[in-house]
Amino acid sequence: MSAILARGLTRIYRRSAEEIAALFGVDLIVEPGEFVAITGASGAGKTTLLNLMGCLDQPTSGLLKLLDRDGFVFQDYCLLPTLTVEENVALPLLFSRALHQRDRVRDLLTRVDLQHRSDHLPRELSGGEQQRVAIARALVNNPEILLADEPTGNLDSKRGNEIVALLRDMNQTEGLTVVLSTHNRDLADRADRQVKLIDGRVV
């Protein structure tokens, strides 16, 4: 079974009389354990595609099948400012009705090398550190698929490389399926496969 299967996936934004086809007839299969980079110029439809895969948005038409629960990482981290690092990572457990699994949270914070910062607030961390907290949070419910929209977009190239190395490591050691979008050619080259979008279509 594929991790992600999209057939004829289309998303049209309607604003009064205007229609913008952000994504048009996209066919895509991602196999379990793959590491795929979605590339393309600004406005090509990368965010639209990832939002659909993450069920943050609904397609206008087409078919989308997902193997299992997914975790989502945003370009601008989306951490809650008044919660500590540990509380941010534990937050999805609340919604999945799991008890606060302190061991799981601690394990993930160790994995992203932030075990010593668990009591800090997001504003006390650098951008790269905040993104590592966001990755730990996305993984806390043991998803099979990790979706990351420009996870390195706000970071310098050194920090960006560290984030991609971390995702690559999770992919190789735990078989996590990873789909990320990026403008950065070097980062895209480190994926198993690149899927390029031009004007909402896969080329």
Ligand X SMILES: Nc1ncnc2c1ncn2[C@@H]1O[C@H](COP(=O)(O)OP(=O)(O)OP(=O)(O)O)[C@@H](O)[C@H]1O
Give, as ranges, the residues between 11 and 40 that touch ligand X (CB under 6 A).
Answer: 13, 15, 20, 22, 40
Contact flag: residue 160 with ligand X (CB under 6 A): no
In 3D space, the residue among 187, 191, 180, 74 whose CA is nearest the CA of residue 137 turns out to be 74
**From 39, 47, 131, 152, residue interacting with ligand X (rule: CB under 6 A):** 47
Paired tokens of 43? 């406005």
**With respect to ligand X, which residue has the nearer C-beta, 31 or 57?**
57
Nearer to ligand X, 75 or 101 (CB): 75
- Tell the smallest beta-carbon distance from residue 67 to ligand X (Å): 23
Residue number with CB closer to ligand X (73 or 140): 73
For position 8 contacting ligand X by CB under 6 A, the verdict is no
Contact footprint for ligand X (CB under 6 A): 13, 15, 20, 22, 40, 42-48
